[in-house]
Amino acid sequence: MNVAAAFNPRPPLAGRYRLGPVIGIGGFGTVFDAFDEVTKSRVAVKSLRQIDPQRLFCFKQEFRLLADCRHVNLVRYYELFQERERWYLAMEHVDGMDVMSHVRGAETPAIDSTTMTHSVSVEMPWEGQQGRSPSDRSGEVAVASQREVQRIRALLSQLADGLEHLHANNLVHRDLTPRNIMLGRDGRLVILDFGLALRGTGTSMMRNLRVGTPKYMAPEQISSEPSTPAADWYAIGSILYEMMTGIAPFVGSSHQVLADKRLRMPLDPRQLHPHLPDDLCQFAMECLATDPQQRPTNGVERLRACAVATIPARAPARMNTSVPFVGRQEQLDQLDHAWRALVKDHTGGVVLVRGPSGMGKSALLDRFVQRLPASDRLLLRSRCYQHESVPFKALDGLADAIGEYLQDTPEDELARILPDGMQYLARLFPALRMIPRIELKFEADAGTQLDPYEQRRRGFQALRALFHRLADGRQVVITLDDLQWGDEDSLAALTEVLAPPGAPPVLVIACGRTEDGGAQVLDRMAHVLGAAGIRIASLEIGPLSSAEIAELAGSLLTGDSTPTAALDAAHRDSGGHPLFLRELVLAHAQGTANNRPSLRDLLARRLMALDEPARRLVEAAAVAGRPRTLALLHHAVGDVGNLAAAVHQLGADRLVRLRTSFGRDELGVYHDKVAETVIALLSPDKLVQHHAALAKALGATDDPEQEAEALSMHLLAAGDHTGGWRYGIIAADRAAAALAFDRAAALYRNLLDIMPADVDRSAFLMKMADALANAGHGIDAAKAYGEAAANPAFADRLHALQRAAGQYLRSGYMDDGLTIAKQVLGEVGLKWHDSSLSALFSLLIRRTWLRIRGLKFKEQDPEAIPRSQRIKMDALWSLGHGLGGVDTVRGAEFHIRHLHLALQAGDPYRVGRGLAWESILNAAEGGGGGRRRGRAQVALGHDLAKKLANEHAAAWSCAAEGYNNWCDGKWDDALACSEKAATGYREECLDITWELGSVYAWCWGPVLCYSGRLTELRALISQVEREFGQLNDLYTLVTLRTVVSPWLTLADGDPERARRESAEAVAKWSKKHWHLQHLFDRMADARVSLYQGDGARAADLIDEGFPRYKSTMQNLLQVKRMFMHGLRAQSVIMAVMQGKRDVRALKVADSDTKRLSKEGTAWATSYATHLRAALHLARGNTSAAADGYRASIVAFDQLKMPLHAAAARIRLGRTANDERSLNDGIAALTALGVKEPERYAATLVAGPAVG
């Protein structure tokens, strides 16, 4: 018989539900018999008859509360959907009758899963209303017979199971009636109609609804008092009372019944007929207590006791379908501690739950979540799947959970919650675009061109800001399960989102297995998060104790005759493994255990015992590797008969689990061990068949490209390399577009071996190299660019070589980068200068020519400039700004050549960026003429950028102005320009990490140091370390750690760490050449020696570095010259005062001091002032020294250099015995965040060592 033919031939609802006749009408909705075209099974579809906000809210609530609350005795909800402005619920079809009809023997036709809600919402006129008790109608009472009492008892065990699961999930039904409890033809009891249910205290709307069915609702529901499980037990008492007596506890009008319930107890059923059983009557009367506090708290146990009261004492042991939670108190205490910290201190963190597969990590997570208070907390749950094919796979489920939460959020609240930048987060997680407000932002921003890495960073920042807003007024708990299947992109996101300072107050609990490489993944996660300063705790899940094994085994086997042999075997063989224990107990209960079987043996035996359709379904779910929709799996496995029955069987056996995601039922294997066993049992041919079938099903979906990665994987596994390649490219491109760079790079790499012969390999390698570069794998990217350039016929060969050189330089492989740079120059006909002296000579000649020629040029359309000329300019530019922060003279020579060519060609954009660099170089060289030229070039660069409306040129001009201000000691102006430049790079430019790194390391960071803003410096270093650490950008990281970070580490009172971190950074740098990074590492080491009071070592370090400093022409840079001469003078003075250098060495300090005085900058002059004071002190002239320190205090105060001014006060205090100056200096440095003020002062202002 064709079941579908009996239903309405009109187009099905939601493309799948074909309606049949009405089978029920309730207060909220009409229920139809229906046929599901996807699962080929009967369902019930409920339609909301009247739409208003309150009814619609309840309707949605009915679905959402039960969508993920699965139990054999609770009705299954499938889908909530809207069609043609009407709302519908699709749910399980239960073929049977209500329990009252079953017990009382009503000869009525079988009824279906109607969901009847009889609601009242009225003010209660209590006075003058008198309801009647059953004694007023004794002639109408039809007391239950012995047979009917047995029917009642037969229902109670299943009713107890359903209520136990409901209440364990913090749900209260609030409308239990006989019509809402069905008994199917298969003997299964099912609780229906959750339209009035609450989770915890529920929403204010749901709490304030005075609704229910008057005959059965509890007194507290009438007055809108909080509903607890006690309200459900009142309803159970009413139902039992009516089943036994044939009449409700109170009768009369609704008003009368509701009023009477608040005033008195009903008549005891035994007064109507003495033969009614004492246990049932007593339990019903206790449930009907007016005060909810007086009702049973052990209702489930009491129901089960009543159920077995007349059953023979020796019941056979049976396996419990759920696994009780036992033990783990220590781990629960640790999670509770993390929760209390979140509540009390509003500080979050990460708890990493580790242990072998099946040891109970997920169960621990579930138990902890169940213990959390229902109010004032937001729980977001996610799970990672081994073969899930999505970018950011560890966080994709979290994004779905956020999306579902936001879908339920009112518009006015959404406006408050959603931060700026959600369009970038939606690029990472497209599911968020289902929120109209986010979709509008996404569409409005569609044309914006940003550097891909910057887009990703903004998406992470938006998620961080969103968590901050979600945590406003509530506690946010995030659970991430099976994190061993996570990816590097997800780890980068977590790090950026959770890192201090200013981390969102959220508690993240991440679970992961430790075998099969999982431990290494979790160790890396802990290391990366910990290195970013994120508070992380590790929680190990080991075997259960002997007592816990006994408790769990006893709980799994129910009945009066639990076999001792099964418990003994569980002790012996399980090794404390909960999943293994369950399988062992089940095997012993069924009499199928052999001698010490393995877990795989036990699972295999159960799988082989499945009927063929169910086995095919679980095989497909395992091969799919992640939860898939029932429709897709049904398409893949073909006809399985009753799909719902197969799913129910597999779910009851804990082989699969059903979850609801965005209203869709998705089926996945219950546990990794199940999947591993299923796949191990498949023959190679059968495995290929399943992959092919899944690929065919995915290809038949509306948008197969959405599943491109999964399609590629299944097609390749099925032997279809052509299809696998096609969808693999789509998946890799989509991952790159979604800014999941690691994922994209891995996908591209996997496709290399199956690349068709007609594909341009070099172009493909460029895409892979771009993904690797964006993911921070600079060396791999450089090699891929180099391999792409190896093809002489490749049109973009020179561009590939330039990119390869840039990646090598950025990654700290200076020698490799310079080798390729020479090759690039040779191929475009440009010269490479082998020595610094040669480069300097070329620079001076070209500078002279530029001053004679001037900066005027005839503007040309860039496209009209010969391509060979543009290639030359871009090659010089790339190498010039690549070397500018490393080997300044050589970089300056490249830049002057670039500027010459740009002026000759008349290209305004290239002229503008060239002027910016020339301005920076003039400022670095210093002197009155250099600064004047630098300022003039900045002004011209600004004008050109404005004229061109070119944001990249504008950002470069701002960066140049900032560096000029830094060299002049104009700290506030330098910071403002640096911030403006960084913003311009980020918002409007591509491939800007080098520019950003230079701004942070050479201007922004040093300005914060010299202006004493250590708190801001700490935040900047943390941000740069995270951002550029993810890129493995050694240029920025090494520069930062040698130039800037030592200031902060010494302020923290940790000189050895300052020395070690600088040395470790520069150890990764080139050893063939001497660069600025080597210079600053040596100066950092010298400052550490001054901090430790070892002036002689500091002086030796500077002396040893001076020859390389001069031979590489670093002495031509004014700021570096000031640093070196000032530091040498400071070190020599301390060494002489310690008696470790001859007094004649002070002549070197005198010379350095005079050199500083002639530099012509205010801060060089102030340095000279404190050095003169120290020289007087070293020669015994205390009075002149004190005057010198006073003068330096004035100078540093005027320059707004509070660290140096405080250090000078400390020196003055010690020199002149001026307690006030000493105390003021110490207090000032302490307030600025310095742990050991006097030692820190010794690194800033010259004088004796600190004892």
Task: Give the pLDDT mean for 1177-1181.
Answer: 95
User: Residue 560 — very low, low, confident or very high, per pLDDT cuts 50/70/90?
Assistant: very low
Task: Give the pLDDT mean for 569-578.
Answer: 61
Supply the range of the domain harboring residue 89: 3-102
> Any idea what the CATH number is for the domain that residue 374 is in?
3.40.50.300
Does some domain include residue 912?
Answer: yes
For residue 318, give the H/E element and its range. Answer: strand 318-319
Does some domain include residue 793?
Answer: no
Are residues 507 and 400 part of one domain? Answer: yes
> Any idea what the CATH number is for the domain that residue 75 is in?
3.30.200.20
Least confident of 120-129, 310-319, 454-463: 120-129
Q: Is the pLDDT of residue 827 over 50?
A: yes
Are residues 413 and 491 part of one domain? Answer: yes
Whether residue 1168 contacts residue 1188, with contact meaning beta carbons closer than 8 Å, is answered with: no
Q: Is the pLDDT of residue 401 over 70?
A: yes
Residue among 4, 18, 182 at smallest CA distance from 97: 182
- From CA 766, how far away is CA 753, in angstroms rounded? 16
Give the domain-ending residue among 929, 946, 963.
946
pLDDT at 108: 34
Are residues 633 and 528 part of one domain? Answer: no
pLDDT at 156: 94
CA distances from 146 to 152, 317, 984, 1010 (A): 10, 27, 85, 93
First to last CA, the chain: 99
User: Residue 264 — very low, low, confident or very high, per pLDDT cuts 50/70/90?
Assistant: confident
pLDDT at 834: 82
Tens of pLDDT, residue by residue over 26-41, are: 666 788 899 888 777 8
pLDDT at 1210: 96
Q: Is the pLDDT of residue 312 over 50?
A: no
For residue 98, give the H/E element and its range. Answer: strand 96-98
Task: Give the pLDDT mean for 721-748.
Answer: 90
Task: Give the pLDDT mean for 272-300.
Answer: 92
pLDDT at 812: 75
Are residues 341 and 301 part of one domain? Answer: no
- From CA 63, how far away is CA 374, in angstroms rounded? 19
The DSSP secondary structure of 182-208, one letter per residue, reads: EEETTS-EEE---TT-EETT--HHHHH
User: Residue 117 — very low, low, confident or very high, per pLDDT cuts 50/70/90?
Assistant: very low
Tens of pLDDT, residue by residue over 771-809, are: 988 887 888 999 999 999 999 999 899 889 988 988 888
Task: Quote the percentage of the chain above a pLDDT of 70.
Answer: 86
Q: Is the pLDDT of residue 762 over 50?
A: yes
Does some domain include residue 133?
Answer: yes
CA angle 638, 639, 645 (to 5 degrees): 120
Are residues 285 and 406 part of one domain? Answer: no
pLDDT at 1208: 96
Task: Give the pLDDT mean for 805-830.
Answer: 86
Which pair of structure tokens corresponds to residue 159?
Answer: 């009713």
pLDDT at 571: 55
Task: Give the pLDDT mean for 949-975.
Answer: 89
Q: Is the pLDDT of residue 295 over 60?
A: yes
User: Which backbone phi and psi does 218 adopt, to 5 degrees?
Assistant: -80, 155
Least confident of 163-177, 211-225, 587-601, 769-783: 587-601
pLDDT at 542: 80
pLDDT at 109: 33
Are residues 171 and 229 part of one domain? Answer: yes
User: Residue 613 — very low, low, confident or very high, per pLDDT cuts 50/70/90?
Assistant: confident
User: Residue 258 — very low, low, confident or very high, per pLDDT cuts 50/70/90?
Assistant: confident
pLDDT at 128: 32
pLDDT at 208: 47
pLDDT at 833: 87
pLDDT at 387: 52
Task: Give the pLDDT mean for 474-493.
Answer: 86
Q: Is the pLDDT of residue 1123 over 60?
A: yes
Whether residue 62 contacts residue 41, with contact meaning beta carbons closer than 8 Å, is answered with: no
Does some domain include residue 1209?
Answer: no
- From CA 406, how far away is CA 403, in angstroms rounded? 5
- From CA 991, how far away is CA 731, in angstroms rounded? 23
Are residues 134 and 88 part of one domain? Answer: no
Least confident of 434-448, 509-523, 584-598: 584-598
Are residues 345 and 315 part of one domain? Answer: no
> Any idea what the CATH number is for the domain that residue 220 is in?
1.10.510.10
pLDDT at 317: 39
Q: Is the pLDDT of residue 368 over 80?
A: yes
Task: Give the pLDDT mean for 845-866.
Answer: 88
Residue among 499, 497, 469, 509 at smallest CA distance from 379: 509
pLDDT at 259: 83
Most confident residue range from 57-71, 503-517, 1043-1057: 1043-1057
pLDDT at 320: 44
Hunting for tokens 């009642």 — which residue is that? 152
Are residues 177 and 273 part of one domain? Answer: yes
Tens of pLDDT, residue by residue over 1-16, are: 444 555 656 788 878 8
pLDDT at 582: 67
Does some domain include residue 988?
Answer: no
pTM for the complete prediction? 0.62
Hunting for tokens 């159920």 — which residue is that? 307
pLDDT at 729: 94
CB atoms within 10 A of CB 758: 5
CB atoms within 10 A of CB 20: 20
pLDDT at 592: 54
Tens of pLDDT, residue by residue over 159-185, are: 999 999 999 888 999 999 999 999 988
Using the 8-state DSSP alphabet, how is residue 664 labeled?
E
Q: Is the pLDDT of residue 555 over 60?
A: yes
- Structural domain count, the chain: 5
Task: Give the pLDDT mean for 496-503.
Answer: 88
pLDDT at 311: 41
Least confident of 74-83, 104-113, 568-577, 871-880: 104-113
Are residues 303 and 214 part of one domain? Answer: yes
User: Residue 595 — very low, low, confident or very high, per pLDDT cuts 50/70/90?
Assistant: low
Task: Give the pLDDT mean for 1246-1251.
Answer: 88
Which pair of structure tokens corresponds to residue 1103?
Answer: 């002396």
Q: Is the pLDDT of residue 554 over 70?
A: no
Are residues 261 and 339 part of one domain? Answer: no
Whether residue 1051 contacts residue 1066, with contact meaning beta carbons closer than 8 Å, is answered with: no
Most confident residue range from 119-123, 249-253, 1092-1096: 1092-1096
Are residues 487 and 462 part of one domain? Answer: yes
- From CA 188, how far away is CA 644, in angstroms rounded? 15
CB atoms within 10 A of CB 585: 28
Give the domain-ending residue among 495, 520, 540.
540
Does some domain include residue 216?
Answer: yes
Does some domain include residue 1137?
Answer: no
User: Residue 359 — very low, low, confident or very high, per pLDDT cuts 50/70/90?
Assistant: confident
Task: Give the pLDDT mean for 726-750.
Answer: 89
Q: What is the mean pLDDT of the chain?
A: 83
pLDDT at 319: 41
Give the domain-ending residue among 628, 653, 682.
682
Does some domain include residue 1086?
Answer: no
List residues bridging with 377 in a β-sheet.
Answer: 475
Q: Is the pLDDT of residue 120 over 80?
A: no
> Any idea what the CATH number is for the domain that residue 635 is in?
1.10.10.10
- From CA 1079, how far away is CA 885, in angstroms rounded? 12
